[in-house]
Amino acid sequence: MDDRLRLIQSLYDPDGLSPDLRRRLADDETLRSEYEALRDTKDALDQRPSQTPDAEVLDRVVARAKAAADPEPPEPGSSARTPAADRSPRRPSAEWTRRLQGVSAAIAVVLMAGIGWWAVGGDLDGEGAVSNGVSGATTSQTEAAPDDEQAMPAWDDRDELVRLHRRIEQLQSQDQMAGWEGQSQPVQSTP
């Protein structure tokens, strides 16, 4: 890095001069005189009060900046358009707000009806399966139909059917386990 740049950097550094730069200032008389001149200049500038320019100066600066930012004015026969002036703010149309509220309400009703239909387990034909709380066991919503009387015996009770199903599964699993040992076990001897 340039020595002059290091001198300026050390003037603004809160730690001050580095040991290497101190040694170089002690050895080089020209560098030391330049450092002192830079330090005196910085101190003099720091002591000056800051001044605010007049309002008229600020207005001229803003006018020049605006003139520089504006594009060239179009010629009378050209197709270029000048930018339109800013419009005043307007409230959103109440008509769109009402439409959106109506559509939102309709969507909410349809969504809630669909969720309710799904939660009940409904079917479009009215013959959907409804769970009775036991996994794998479902009942038809139309149990009392004449077709079901012939398919199911009159003594069939849902709790009894579930109990029998579990017992059959238990016996089948015990039978499979017995098959590994090579001995079969009669059904009456199982608990």
CB 3 within 8 A of CB 24: yes
Exposure b/e, 90-106, CB count within 10 A at least 16 = b: eeeeeeeeeeeeeeeee
Q: Give the domain extent around 156.
A: 132-191
Task: Let me know if residue 118 belongs to a domain.
Answer: no
Give the pLDDT confidence score for residue 106 in this predicted structure.
94
Give the pLDDT confidence score for residue 2 in this predicted structure.
79
Task: Let me know if residue 88 belongs to a domain.
Answer: no
CB 190 within 8 A of CB 174: yes
Domain count, the chain: 2
Return the number of other C-beta atoms located less than 10 Å from residue 114's C-beta.
10
Task: Let me know if residue 188 belongs to a domain.
Answer: yes
User: What are the phi and psi torsion angles at 124 (to 5°)?
Assistant: -65, -30
Task: Let me know if residue 120 belongs to a domain.
Answer: no
Name the residue among 117, 148, 115, 119 with its Cα closest to residue 131.
Answer: 119
Q: Give CA separation, 187 vs 161, 167, 173, 180, 191, in Å.
A: 19, 11, 12, 17, 9
CB 156 within 8 A of CB 150: no
pLDDT in tens, 105-142: 999 999 999 998 888 876 655 554 555 554 544 554 44
Task: Let me know if residue 125 belongs to a domain.
Answer: no
Give the pLDDT confidence score for residue 53 in this predicted structure.
84
Give the pLDDT confidence score for residue 125 in this predicted structure.
58
DSSP per residue, 60-90: HHHHHHHHHHSPPPPPTT----PPPPPPPP-
Task: Let me know if residue 179 belongs to a domain.
Answer: yes
Question: Which residue ranges of the chain lie beneath pLDDT 70?
Answer: 1, 71-84, 92, 122-157, 175-191
Give the pLDDT confidence score for residue 89 in this predicted structure.
80
Task: Let me know if residue 54 belongs to a domain.
Answer: no
pLDDT in tens, 168-185: 988 888 766 655 555 666
